[in-house]
Structure formats: C-alpha cells, structure tokens
C-alpha cells in the first residue's frame, strides 16, 4: 500500500488535469497523475510536419475509418481526418448509448483534448456568473467574477493568450499577448457592424503565442508559426496543450508520477474517515487492477468521464454515485448551440490579400440581453467567423477546363465571409446521463447513456442566431447571403459541462464554491462538470482558472488539516 | 540563434521525438500506398487508362506539370478504393461506362481532338444541370472526374508549389497586405481553414 500512496491523485491530463498536476506538484505535493490512454510526449505528433501531398486520401476519412468512428465522423469542429484520427477514441471499443442523439468526442491519451482544442480563450463575466441567481435558472454560482479574475490572470499569463484589449463588460479583458491582424474584409465588416448595429467585432482571443511568453517557465514553447495545423499537435509549442505546457512544468518539479493506460473506474470511500482514500484503476492493456491512495483527489477526467467514474463509485454512504446526495450528479448537461450561421460573398478588395495561416478568426461578442437589449429568450450568443479569398474549389462549377482551368486557379478567388453562432444552453435537470449497468464496454465497465436535448430557450435562440447572421451580412452590403444549419446534436459544440455542478446548497449541487464535493471534502472536481451555467464563451479557460484556484485551496486546506 | 537555425532545431526535435510505434506503423503503410510504382487497386487497367486520359484533358501539362505528372490517376483510384462508399463506386463506374459510349466509339479509340471535344461538350452539359440535380451519367462522369482531378492535383506537390504557392512554415501572419506582396501573388495552396 505504501508504494501506491501519494499526497494527491489527479485523474485525467487534459486542460484541467494538466493544471492540477502543475499546481499541486509546484506546491510540493507528491502527485500521482493518471490517464486512461497512452503517453504522448511533447513533440510526439506523427502528422505535424506532413505536407498536403504526404497525406493519403486527400486527408479524408476512409470507409474503414468511418466504420471505426461512426460517431466521431458526425458534423462538428472535429471530424476524422488522416492527419488527426489517431487522437480520437475508437467508437467501437468505447461505446455509449443515446436515448436522445448525443455527440461525445473524446481523446484518450495523455493531454486529452488539450491537443485538439479550438484554443479560443474567453473569460466569463460578472453577468454570466450572476444570471442563474437573478433569473432563477438552475442554481446560483457560488462564486463571482472577482473570485475568478486573479486565476484567469494567472492562467493567461502562463499559457499565453493572444488578444486585443476591448473594454467590454460582457467579455473581460485579460493578460494578453499581441492581437493577430484582421484582414481587409474583416475590418470592413467590423466598421459596418459598429456603424449600423453598434456591435463589436474583435479578433479572436486564442491560446497561440503571437509573441514569446512573458515568463521563462516553458522553454519548450516557441512562437506560433502560422501553419494553422494545431490539431495535429505543434512541434513548435506554438499553442497551449497540457503536453507542451503544464505537464512539462509538473515533471520538472520531480513530484509527479505519471501512470498511463490507467482507467480509473472507482473512487474508494472510507466510511469511518468520511473521506475518499483513493482510486481503483484498471490497466487498459493488461486488465490488471491496482489501488492508489492519497489525501486529496482531483477529478479532471472531462465532464462525462468524471460523471462516469462518480456514478460508478457506489457505497452504502453513496448508493446513487459518489457525492450524489443532491441527485444532480450526471444532470444539467450543457453544451453550446453550434452549427448555425451564415456566409456571404464580398465584392472588391481584389488587390488585398494575406500571408500566413492564422489559427484564429474574428469574434462578435454577445450583444443580446446585454445592457438595454431585451429578448424573449434568456441569455445570448456570440459569433465566430472569418473572411478569406476563395480557393480553386470555386472553379468546379465554372466553364473551365485544361490550361485555362490551371491558369484561373493561380489567382486568388473573390472574398467571402462566414460566421457561426455559439449560444448559451440553460442547465436543466431533464438533460442527463446515466450509467447502463446492463451494457458494458470491453473492460467490463458500464457505459453511459445520454438523454439530453435542446429545449424551448435554445430553439428560440437557434432561430435568432441565423436571423442575426443573415441580417448583419446583408446590412453590410454583402451578396449571396446564405444561412447554414449543420445537423448538430447536443455535444457537437464539444463544450460539454454541468454534470457535477457547483452551488451553495448541498441539496441542489454537487460541489461547493471551491470545486470541493459538499459530501466529501477531499475530492475536488475541476473539469467542465463543475459548471453551473455555460455562458456562450468557449469554456476551457474557465476550467483552467477553476482548477488552479481549487488546487491552491486544496493545498491550504491540507496545511490546515481540514482535508 | 537566428530564426532559421531555430526552425531547423525545432524540426529536428519534431522528427526525433516521434516515438509511438503503433502510430508510425500506420503512416508507413500509408506512405507505401503512395509510392510512384504503386498499382491501381480499384480500377481495371482499361478504366485506369481512360481516367488518366480524361484527367490529362482536365489538367494538362503546360509549362508546369499536369494531372498525370502529379499522380492524379492513382489518387482517384485510391479514393474509390478506400474513401468512397459502394454506391459512389457504382455511380462512378456506371457513369464511366456511359461516357465510354458517348463518343460513338470507345473513348480511347478517339483521336485527341475528338476526346477533348467530347469532354468539353459533356462538361458544358453537366454545368447546365440545375444545382442539386445529378447530370446524365456520361456528363456526371466528366464532372466527378473534374472534381477528383482538381482535388488530387491541387493537393499534390506540383499543384501546391508550382501552380499555386505553398509555405509549409509561414512563420508570420500578415492579415492585410497588397496582393503583390503576398509571396508571389498567386493563390495560397492551403487556405486559412475556418471552413464553416
């Protein structure tokens, strides 16, 4: 037992787990870090330097790929390509059930989805953290912006976030690296939105290094090379991932022990102590079972990964899942409304172009139900988009063949602009995930069954997103304005949240204001499952800030002998 | 260390650090399928010859390499072999058979001018079909072959680097510059891909 005993255990190595590992080890805790998948060391990115012609099948999935990843090939920001498919969990070996259709996109390897994330990094605002309480939706967040602000500062400083200081109350500024340029059409759209709607269009805030970091803790990270191939993993360390950033820091302390292929399937509860004492682990390759012990446990296995483990951890004290006195564990699933927007063609600007491939777009921050704007639905949405010049694909429908076709392809095409809404989804007890104990995966572990759908508020908002996108592009004077709507299920935004929410009252929430379980103080949950509401901002930055804050709290509480 | 040296170091790191043998094996297999002496796996020899002849009309060799130089026939073969569904395979082969009859005698027995004229005529016919509708089979074949030829060619090394322009590691982003200052002023081979 002694050799398997640590000060802390961190379950998962994505954005949250990486931060927990770094903070806990830097504060001197001997920390065991577990990941269910194989090791990926920074630089171990097999497709990162491949040219387009070095990838088979035009980088498209084969029929064999589609058979292996029937769910991951659904429309989303991800998708299976030859250059990225090795980062995605196999749907055949890792099944889940869908009472209602649900898109669950997973990366089972060290670094998790921090390797493939979209890198957009926005703070929640006071408005977002107050909304539940003011409107009587879900439960009030037990924290406010001032609780998070210093931790946002810390995280942004460490990971490096490129962005502009925009002075918007609904989207607080941060500690930014220089902003990336907008192109000429994006600037044109920006000024028209400002004139005609008094709405802001800003450059996206992204965790790519537009300049060197302002600290010397990450010598392995270089500046962004503007290849826009981030999802393959960046050998330059140009964007933040656990692999390029937090895990190397944790490693350097000498306090981290990492065990890979370690599927945590249960938390161990000690009735006498009233605490969690450790975790039970199954080796993904050998099936060998091991118990590990620690004073404090950080659950960072992703929203549904954590829910699955907690629901599977039953005892006489917790017959309905670990820490589930409230009955809210697994409930209140949120994602962002995703997949609807509009595009248009833009005349002129033919003598302007760009060079490099910017891994970022523009952002139109939320303006609905902000200030004096009042809508029939609650909350709001932001738009993410970009403008560019059309490539050779425009010539397929042109009367061109032979040398003429080749010559036409040499010239950059006309400008287009497109944008998609990301809308806030309200927490609802009716959106939940359960464990199906009759259906097990190849490890013999019960699988998840999803039962979540967009409700009235989301449906109203979804319509408004399309109407606004069309209205803005039309008012800007662009032509061929067309709306689009992907067949996106809940989950397609890959911003899943809410299954172990924070709150003030143990009767209605799973975690307190420090991400600490109400019912078991030495278990912290700091991934997306902690979220009490979703905002409409990309949430990863908030998970990192919550994790750093919770790790600091855990260490203080350990010192005080409270956990 | 100047930027050039630094880049060189970084790419050495990238190559040296690739460890996962299981992943490497996958990509070795892919690389093997891309060797120039690789044989078609889906198309029969006569079909492969026909596809090559059509691809050559769509993107011929000029002062830069053409579709055949860029390995497009093999690319098309591989796409049907692995990436497309049974239905798509059948659609292509059915359309090809119709196309082979459309010129009065088998396509490969026509002379160069006749071949070009036939492909051009069917291309025009396909473009006249309203959006969302499938053209008649022979014209459908020309359109499918055009799309596939363009895709294979503009992802190929000659397509990317000699017809378009390609920067594997741009190193910087300039968002709003005169067209003449954007490299050689040609279209970038790989767009900033916010494909939504």
CA distance B172 to chain A (A): 6
Chain B residues with CB under 8 Å of A358 CB are: 173, 175, 192
- Residue B116: both structure tokens together: 């070009």
Best probe of the B interface among A237, A384, A401, by most B CBs < 10 A, is A401
SS3 per-residue string spanning chain B: CCHHHHHHHHHHHHHHHCCCHHHHHHHHHHHHHCCCCCCCCCCCHHHHHHHHHHHHHHCCCCCCCCCCCCCHHHHHHHHHHHHCCHHHHHHHHHHHHHHHHCCCCCHHHCCHHHHHHHHHHHHHHHHHCCCCCCCCHHHHHHHHHHHHHHHHHHCCHHHHHHHCECCCCCCCCEEEEEHHHCCCCCCECCCCCCCC
Quick one: what percent of chain B has pLDDT higher than 70? Answer: 78
The residue in chain B having the minimum alpha-carbon distance to the alpha carbon of residue A203 is B175
Query: In the structure, what pLDDT confidence band is assigned to residue B20 with cuts at 50, 70 and 90?
Result: very low
- pLDDT tens digit sequence for A201-224: 999 999 999 999 999 999 999 999
CA pseudo-torsion sign B73, B74, B80, B81: positive
Which residues 36-55 of chain A have a CB within 8 Å of chain B? 38, 40-49, 51-55
Q: Is the Cβ pair A52, B178 closer than 8 Å?
A: no
Cα separation of the two ends of chain A: 20
A361 contacts chain B (CB < 8 A)? yes
- pLDDT tens digit sequence for A47-95: 999 999 999 999 999 999 999 999 999 888 788 999 999 999 999 999 9
Write out the DSSP string of A476-502: TT-EEEEEEE----BTTTS--B-TT-B
CA distance B183 to chain A (A): 7
pLDDT of residue B15 exceeding 60 = no
Which residues 431-490 of chain A have a CB within 8 Å of chain B? 484
Query: In the structure, what pLDDT confidence band is assigned to residue B2 with cuts at 50, 70 and 90?
Result: very low
A191 contacts chain B (CB < 8 A)? no
Do A64 and B86 form a contact (C-beta atoms < 8 A)? no
Identify which of A56, A357, A403 has the shortest CB distance to residue B190: A357
Helix (H) or strand (E) holding A472: helix A456-475
Q: Three-class SS of residue A106?
A: coil
Q: Is the Cβ pair B60, A402 closer than 8 Å?
A: yes
Q: What is the pLDDT of residue B8?
A: 31
Q: Is the Cβ pair B178, A396 closer than 8 Å?
A: no
Contacts of A49 (CB under 8 A, 6+ apart): A235, B11, B14, B15, B168
User: Looking only at Cα atoms, what is the longest distance across chain B?
Assistant: 67
Give the position of tokens 């769509």.
Answer: B58
Could you tell me which residues are beta bridge partners of residue A422? Answer: A382
Instruction: Give domain A2-90+105-120+229-334+494-559's CATH architecture.
Output: 3-Layer(bba) Sandwich (3.50)
The residue in chain B having the minimum alpha-carbon distance to the alpha carbon of residue A225 is B171
The residue in chain B having the minimum alpha-carbon distance to the alpha carbon of residue A421 is B196
Helix (H) or strand (E) holding A119: none
Q: Is the Cβ pair A222, B26 closer than 8 Å?
A: no
Q: Is the Cβ pair B20, A53 closer than 8 Å?
A: no
User: Looking only at Cα atoms, what is the longest distance across chain A?
Assistant: 82
- Per the prediction, chain B carries an average pLDDT of 84
Domain segments of chain B as ranges: 39-165+177-196
From CA A206, how far away is CA A209, in angstroms rounded?
8
Q: What is the mean pLDDT of residues B17-23?
A: 31
Exposure of A32 in the CB half-sphere (CA atoms within 13 A)? 24
- pLDDT tens digit sequence for A270-302: 999 999 999 999 999 999 999 999 999 999 999
Chain B residues with CB under 8 Å of A225 CB are: 7, 169-171
Cα A138 versus chain centre, distance: 22
From CA A460, how far away is CA A474, in angstroms rounded?
21
Spatial CA neighbour of B118 closest among B104, B135, B136, B97 = B104
The residue in chain B having the minimum alpha-carbon distance to the alpha carbon of residue A412 is B187
Q: Is the Cβ pair B196, A222 closer than 8 Å?
A: no
CA distance A263 to chain B (A): 20
**Alpha helices (H) along A198-334:** 247-252, 303-312
Chain B residues with CB under 8 Å of A419 CB are: 196
Q: What is the pLDDT of residue B4?
A: 30
From CA A555, how far away is CA A563, in angstroms rounded?
9
Name the DSSP class of A4: G
Q: Is the Cβ pair B176, A236 closer than 8 Å?
A: no
Domain segments of chain A as ranges: 2-90+105-120+229-334+494-559, 163-204+338-423+454-489
pLDDT of residue B24 exceeding 50 = no
Rg (CA), chain B: 20
Q: Please state the φ and ψ torsions of residue A479, each to the nearest 5 degrees.
A: -110, 170
CA distance A9 to chain B (A): 26
- Per the prediction, chain A carries an average pLDDT of 97
Q: Is the Cβ pair B176, A228 closer than 8 Å?
A: no
Q: Is the Cβ pair A226, B163 closer than 8 Å?
A: no
Best probe of the A interface among B13, B160, B175, by most A CBs < 10 A, is B175
| Contacts A–B by Cβ distance under 8 A | 230
SS3 per-residue string spanning A377-414: CCCCEEEEEEEEECCHHHHHHCCCCHHHHHHHHHCCCC
From CA B78, how far away is CA A247, in angstroms rounded?
40
Identify which of A184, A228, A403 has the shortest CB distance to residue B176: A184
Chain A residues with CB under 8 Å of B146 CB are: 396, 401
B110-146 burial, b at 16+ Cβ within 10 Å, e below that, comes to beeeebbebbeebbebbbeeeeeeebebbbbbbbbbb
Helix (H) or strand (E) holding A294: strand A289-299
Do A142 and A91 form a contact (C-beta atoms < 8 A)? no
Query: In the structure, what pLDDT confidence band is assigned to residue A443 with cuts at 50, 70 and 90?
Result: very high
Best probe of the B interface among A38, A56, A184, A201, by most B CBs < 10 A, is A56
A341 contacts chain B (CB < 8 A)? yes
- Residue B55: both structure tokens together: 């691809």
Cα A66 versus chain centre, distance: 24
Give the position of tokens 């006569």.
Answer: B46
- pLDDT tens digit sequence for B49-76: 999 999 999 999 999 999 999 999 999 9
Q: What is the pLDDT of residue B132?
A: 84
Q: What is the mean pLDDT of residues A254-281?
A: 98
Identify which of B20, B82, B172 has the shortest CB distance to residue A63: B82
Best probe of the B interface among A187, A235, A360, A416, by most B CBs < 10 A, is A235
Could you tell me which residues are beta bridge partners of residue A292? Answer: A279
From CA B46, how far away is CA B119, in angstroms rounded?
18
Q: Three-class SS of residue A156?
A: helix
From CA A518, how far away is CA A80, in angstroms rounded?
40
Chain B residues with CB under 8 Å of A356 CB are: 167, 170-174
Q: Distance of CA A182 to CAs A226, A361, A396, Å?
A: 14, 8, 29
Q: Is the Cβ pair A397, B127 closer than 8 Å?
A: yes
Quote the strand ranges of A12-109, DSSP E. Answer: 31-34, 97-98
Q: Is the Cβ pair A48, B14 closer than 8 Å?
A: yes
Do B160 and B111 form a contact (C-beta atoms < 8 A)? no
Q: What is the mean pLDDT of residues A306-329?
A: 98
Spatial CA neighbour of A109 closest among A180, A175, A37 = A37
Q: Is the Cβ pair A392, B150 closer than 8 Å?
A: yes
Q: What is the pLDDT of residue B34?
A: 54
Q: What is the mean pLDDT of residues A511-528?
A: 98
Identify which of A44, A180, A402 has the shortest CB distance to residue B18: A44
Q: What is the pLDDT of residue A1?
A: 64
From CA A77, how far away is CA A68, in angstroms rounded?
19
Work out the angle between the directed axes of helices A145-159 and A540-559 (0-180°, nearest 10).
110
Cα separation of the two ends of chain B: 39
The residue in chain B having the minimum alpha-carbon distance to the alpha carbon of residue A187 is B176
- Residue A471: both structure tokens together: 């209205």
CA distance A230 to chain B (A): 11
Could you tell me which residues are beta bridge partners of residue A264? Answer: A281
Q: What is the pLDDT of residue B36?
A: 58
Quote the strand ranges of A192-283, DSSP E. Answer: 202-203, 256-259, 262-270, 275-283
Contacts of A560 (CB under 8 A, 6+ apart): none
| pTM confidence score | 0.94
Q: Is the Cβ pair A226, B172 closer than 8 Å?
A: yes
Do A179 and A163 form a contact (C-beta atoms < 8 A)? yes
Q: What is the pLDDT of residue B195?
A: 39
Q: What is the mean pLDDT of residues A372-389?
A: 97
Q: Distance of CA A319 to CAs A313, A333, A511, B95, Å?
A: 8, 21, 18, 62
Q: Is the Cβ pair B154, A235 closer than 8 Å?
A: no
CA distance B78 to chain A (A): 7
Query: In the structure, what pLDDT confidence band is assigned to residue B35 with cuts at 50, 70 and 90?
Result: low
Q: Three-class SS of residue A340?
A: strand
The residue in chain A having the minimum alpha-carbon distance to the alpha carbon of residue B123 is A399
């Amino acid at each position: 037992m002694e050799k398997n005993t640590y000060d802390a255990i961190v379950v998962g190595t994505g954005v949250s787990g990486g931060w927990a590992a770094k903070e806990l080890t830097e504060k001197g805790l001997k920390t065991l870090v577990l990941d269910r998948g194989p090791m990926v060391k920074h630089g171990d990115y097999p497709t990162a330097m491949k040219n387009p012609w070095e990838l088979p099948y035009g980088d498209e999935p084969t029929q064999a790929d589609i058979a292996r990843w029937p769910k991951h090939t659904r429309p989303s920001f991800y998708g299976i390509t030859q250059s990225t498919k090795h980062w995605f969990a196999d749907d055949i070996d890792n099944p889940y059930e869908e009472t209602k259709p649900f898109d669950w996109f997973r990366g089972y390897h060290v670094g998790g989805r921090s390797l493939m994330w979209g890198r957009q990094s926005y703070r929640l605002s006071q408005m977002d953290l107050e909304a539940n309480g003011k409107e009587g939706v879900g439960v009030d967040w037990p924290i406010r912006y001032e609780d998070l602000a210093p931790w946002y500062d810390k995280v942004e400083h460490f990971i490096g976030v490129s962005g502009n200081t925009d002075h918007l109350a609904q989207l607080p500024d941060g500690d930014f690296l220089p902003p990336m340029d907008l192109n000429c059409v994006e600037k044109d759209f920006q000024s028209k939105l400002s004139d005609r709607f008094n709405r802001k269009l800003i450059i996206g805030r992204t965790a790519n290094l537009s300049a060197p970091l302002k600290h010397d803790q990450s010598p392995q990270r270089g500046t962004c090379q503007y290849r826009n191939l981030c999802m393959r993993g960046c050998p330059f360390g140009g964007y933040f991932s656990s692999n390029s950033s937090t895990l190397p820091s944790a490693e350097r302390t000498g306090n981290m022990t990492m065990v890979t292929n370690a599927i945590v399937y249960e938390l161990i509860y000690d009735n006498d102590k009233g605490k969690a004492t450790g975790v039970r682990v199954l080796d993904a390759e050998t099936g060998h079972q091991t118990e590990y012990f620690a004073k404090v446990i950080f659950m960072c296995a992703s929203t549904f990964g954590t829910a699955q483990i907690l629901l599977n951890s039953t005892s006489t004290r917790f017959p309905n899942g670990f820490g589930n006195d409230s009955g809210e564990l697994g409930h209140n699933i949120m994602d962002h409304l995703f997949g609807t927007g509009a595009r248009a063609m833009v005349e002129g600007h033919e003598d302007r172009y760009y060079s490099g491939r910017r891994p970022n777009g523009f952002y139109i921050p939320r303006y609905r139900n902000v200030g004096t704007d009042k809508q029939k639905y609650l909350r709001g949405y932001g738009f993410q988009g970009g403008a560019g010049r059309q490539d050779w694909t425009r010539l397929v429908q042109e009367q061109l063949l032979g040398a003429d076709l080749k010559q036409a392809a040499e010239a950059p095409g006309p400008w287009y602009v497109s944008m998609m809404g990301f809308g806030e989804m309200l927490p609802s007890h009716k959106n939940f995930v359960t464990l199906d104990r009759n259906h097990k995966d190849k490890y013999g572990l019960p699988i998840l069954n999803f039962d979540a759908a967009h409700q009235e508020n989301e449906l109203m908002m979804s319509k408004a997103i399309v109407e606004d996108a069309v209205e803005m592009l039309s008012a800007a004077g662009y032509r061929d304005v067309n709306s689009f709507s992907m067949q996106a299920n809940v989950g397609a935004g890959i911003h899943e949240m809410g299954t172990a929410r924070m709150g003030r009252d143990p009767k209605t929430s799973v975690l307190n204001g420090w991400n600490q379980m109400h019912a078991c103080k030495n278990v912290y949950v700091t991934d997306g499952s902690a979220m009490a509401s979703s905002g409409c901002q990309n949430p990863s930055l908030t998970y990192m800030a919550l994790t750093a804050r919770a790790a600091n709290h855990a260490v203080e509480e350990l010192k005080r002998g409270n956990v | 260390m100047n930027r050039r040296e630094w880049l060189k170091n970084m790419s050495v790191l990238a190559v040296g650090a690739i460890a996962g043998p299981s992943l490497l094996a996958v990509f070795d297999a892919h690389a093997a399928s891309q060797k120039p002496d690789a044989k078609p796996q889906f198309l029969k020899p006569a079909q492969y010859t026909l596809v090559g002849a059509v691809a050559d009309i769509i993107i011929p060799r000029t002062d830069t390499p053409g579709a055949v130089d860029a390995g497009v026939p093999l690319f098309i073969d591989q796409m049907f072999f692995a990436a497309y569904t049974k239905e798509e395979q059948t659609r292509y082969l059915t359309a090809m058979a119709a196309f082979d009859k459309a010129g009065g005698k088998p396509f490969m027995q026509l002379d160069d001018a006749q071949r070009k004229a036939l492909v051009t005529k069917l291309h025009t016919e396909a473009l006249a079909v309203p959006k969302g509708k499938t053209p008649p089979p022979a014209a459908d074949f020309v359109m499918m072959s055009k799309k596939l030829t363009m895709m294979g060619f503009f992802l190929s090394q000659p397509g990317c680097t000699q017809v378009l322009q390609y920067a594997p590691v741009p190193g910087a982003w300039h968002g709003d510059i005169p067209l003449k200052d954007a490299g050689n002023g040609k279209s970038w081979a790989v767009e900033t891909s916010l494909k939504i």
